[in-house]
Amino acid sequence: MFSLGDSNRYLLFSEPTDMRKSFHTLSGLVTNIMGTNPHNGDVFIFINKHRNRIKLLHWEPGGMVIYSKMLERGTFALPDLSSVTSSSYIMQWRDLVLLVEGIMEKADSRQNRLMHLRNMQL
């Protein structure tokens, strides 16, 4: 069952990730590079190089879950990671929701993503 919310801790992996990776290899990134346990209940966020795909890895009672989204147009806007010295960046639930919904995106990218929705309304 979907169990994400503001009670979880969200960690964005600071490097682009190959979206062919699945449960075991993403868990390996969490363990080997981020230095934490993928079974601790945190949500681990991975975004690809082109910033048009996102995966969230989360341990729930009963097993590991991956949430995935691929954009038809535009890109996900990442927070400024230039000052991040570790392999992860802590995000808040509200920031993740805004990122996934495209609200934090640059105007030109948002325009591309939302143009399709405007055309559907006509």
pLDDT digits (tens, 9 = 90+) for 61-120: 889 999 999 998 888 888 777 677 678 889 999 888 888 887 644 555 555 556 666 666
pTM above 0.85, yes or no: no
Model confidence pLDDT, tens digit, residues 45-77: 999 999 999 999 999 988 999 999 999 888 888
The vertex-45 CA angle with 19 and 93, nearest 5°, equals 145
Q: How far apart are CA 20 and CA 29, in angstroms?
A: 13
Output DSSP code: residue 65.
E
Residues 6+ apart with CB under 8 A from 88: 11, 12, 13, 14, 34, 36, 44
* β-bridge partners, 73: none
